[in-house]
C-alpha cells in the first residue's frame, strides 16, 4: 500500500558493537567515507573503532556517541531520497542523528556536539552514580520504588522505554538498594547497567551547564519534518524549542514509549531504524505490535528496505 507514513528512528548509546558497519561498508563505500570524515573532525579513527575495536575503546562514552551518530547518518544517506520520513525521532543520543536527518543540525556540528557531550558525561561521572533496568513494573510502581529508596540520595526514572521496561538512575548505593526492592515489589528482575554515571538524572546538572556553551555555539534550524522530543514526547519543529529541549535532555528522562505513541497517533505505521543494531526496533515492537519495522544493520536488511522503498514509489 503506497503512501504509508514513515518515521525514521535512530539508536542511542548501548547499540554499539565491534564490527558495526563493516559489512555495510564492504557493499556501500560511502559508509566508510562518512566514518572517516567524522573521525577527522574529532581526531579519532572512528572507522577502525567501529570495524575492529577494541571494545573497551568503542564503549567509552566519548567514542561511542560520535561513532553511533556517524554510522546512523551514513545509513540515513543510503536511503535519503528513496524514502521520505513523515516524522523523525531518536533515543537519547539518537536524537542528534534525527536532527541531522530533519535538517535542523549540520552533520559536522552534530559530530562535534556529541563528542563534547560524551566527554562531559564521562568527566561528570565520578563513580557515585549508576543506572538499573527494571523489568516488569509499570511507571507508577517504579515511581513508588524511587520514592521508597530516595531518602538517602537520588533515584529517578531515566528511560521509560516501553511497557514493563524502565531504567532508573541516581546515586549508586540508592540504585543498588532499588534493584533489590524492585523484585520484592513484583519486578521480574532488575539489572544493574554497565554505565559510568547517573545519566538522564539531576546528577547530570553540572554536565548540562558546561554543555550549554557547546550548544550555544552551533546553528540550529527549524526542522523540515517534525522531530519527536525525548523530553516531552511531543513533536516539535522550531529551532529555539529544539535547542532548549536538547539542553534539558541531559537531566530529563527519555520518554521513548511516549515518543512511539505520539508517532502512532500521527498516523505513522512504518518505523525505520537507521544505524547499528535493533534496540529501538525492539522497543517499538514491545510498545505496539501492529507497527511495521525495518532495521538497517547489514546489507540484507538494507536490500529489504530499499525494496520496500521501490514499492512505495511505484
- Active-site residue, selected from the candidate residues 200, 201, 229, 295: 200
> pLDDT at position 2, please?
52
Give the mean model confidence (pLDDT) for residues 262-273.
98
One-character DSSP codes across 16-58: --TTTTHHHHHH-HHHHHHHHHHHHHHT--HHHHHHH--HHHH
Give the mean model confidence (pLDDT) for residues 223-252.
98
92 belongs to the catalytic site: yes
| Strands lying side by side in the sheet with 155-162 | 155-162, 165-171, 129-135, 189-192
Give the mean model confidence (pLDDT) for residues 306-312.
93
All three cell numbers of 140 = 507508577
- Cα 78 to Cα 294: distance, rounded to the nearest angstrom: 14
pTM: 0.96
Domains located in the chain, CATH noted: 5-124+203-313 (3.40.366.10), 129-195 (3.30.70.250)
Chain segment 164-221, per-residue pLDDT in tens: 999 999 999 999 999 999 999 999 999 999 888 899 999 999 999 999 999 999 999 9
Tell which phi-psi region holds residue 252, choosing left (phi > 0), alpha (psi between -120 and 50) or beta.
beta
> pLDDT at position 1, please?
42
> pLDDT at position 211, please?
97
Q: Is the pLDDT of residue 305 over 80?
A: yes
> pLDDT at position 123, please?
86
The percent of residues above 90 in pLDDT, for the chain, comes to 94
Place of cell 500521527: 266
- Cα 82 to Cα 33: distance, rounded to the nearest angstrom: 20
91 belongs to the catalytic site: no
Residues 6+ apart with CB under 8 A from 265: none
Place of cell 525495518: 294
Count of C-beta atoms within a 10 Å radius of residue 21: 28
Q: Give 227's strand partners.
A: 88, 236
Chain segment 274-283, per-residue pLDDT in tens: 999 999 999 9
Chain segment 100-150, per-residue pLDDT in tens: 999 999 999 999 999 999 999 988 777 789 999 999 999 999 999 999 999
Mean confidence (pLDDT) of the chain: 96
> pLDDT at position 126, please?
76
- Active-site residue, selected from the candidate residues 92, 229, 252, 295: 92
> pLDDT at position 229, please?
98
Place of cell 521513548: 256
The C-alpha angle with vertex 97 and arms to 95 and 102, in degrees rounded to 5, equals 90
All three cell numbers of 301 = 536488511
Residues 6+ apart with CB under 8 A from 250: 117, 121, 200, 204, 207, 208, 211
Amino acid at each position: 500500500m503506497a503512501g504509508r507514513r514513515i518515521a525514521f528512528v535512530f539508536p542511542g548509546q548501548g547499540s554499539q558493537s565491534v564490527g558495526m558497519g563493516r559489512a555495510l561498508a564492504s557493499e556501500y563505500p560511502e559508509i566508510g567515507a562518512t566514518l572517516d570524515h567524522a573521525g577527522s573532525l574529532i581526531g579519532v579513527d572512528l572507522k577502525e573503532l567501529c570495524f575492529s575495536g577494541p571494545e573497551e575503546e568503542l564503549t567509552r562514552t566519548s567514542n561511542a556517541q560520535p561513532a553511533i551518530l556517524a554510522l546512523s547518518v551514513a545509513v540515513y544517506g543510503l536511503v535519503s531520497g528513496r524514502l521520505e520520513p513523515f516524522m523523525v525521532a531518536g533515543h537519547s543520543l539518537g536524537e542528534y542523528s534525527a536532527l541531522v536527518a530533519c535538517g535542523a543540525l549540520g552533520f559536522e556540528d552534530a559530530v562535534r556536539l556529541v563528542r563534547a557531550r560524551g566527554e562531559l558525561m564521562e568527566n561528570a561521572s565520578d563513580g557515585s552514580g549508576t543506572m538499573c533496568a527494571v523489568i516488569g513494573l509499570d511507571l507508577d510502581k517504579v515511581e513508588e520504588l524511587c520514592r521508597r529508596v530516595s531518602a538517602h540520595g537520588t533515584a529517578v526514572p531515566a528511560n521509560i522505554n516501553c511497557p514493563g521496561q524502565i531504567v532508573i538512575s541516581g546515586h549508586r548505593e540508592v540504585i543498588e538498594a532499588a534493584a533489590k526492592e524492585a523484585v520484592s515489589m513484583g519486578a521480574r528482575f532488575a539489572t544493574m547497567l554497565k554505565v559510568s554515571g547517573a545519566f538522564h538524572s539531576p546528577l547530570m546538572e553540572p554536565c548540562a551547564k558546561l554543555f550549554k556553551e557547546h550548544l550555544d555555539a552551533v546553528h540550529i534550524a527549524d526542522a523540515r519534518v517534525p522531530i519527536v522530543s525525548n523530553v516531552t514526547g511531543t513533536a516539535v519543529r522550531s529551532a529555539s524549542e529544539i535547542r532548549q529541549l536538547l539542553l534539558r535532555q541531559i537531566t530529563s528522562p527519555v520518554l521513548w514509549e511516549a515518543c512511539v505513541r505520539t508517532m502512532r497517533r500521527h498516523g505513522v505505521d512504518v518505523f525505520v531504524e537507521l544505524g547499528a543494531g535493533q534496540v529501538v526496533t525492539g522497543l517499538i515492537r514491545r510498545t505496539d505490535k501492529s507497527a511495521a519495522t525495518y532495521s538497517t544493520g547489514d546489507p540484507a536488511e538494507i536490500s529489504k528496505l530499499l525494496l520496500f522503498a521501490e514499492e512505495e514509489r511505484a
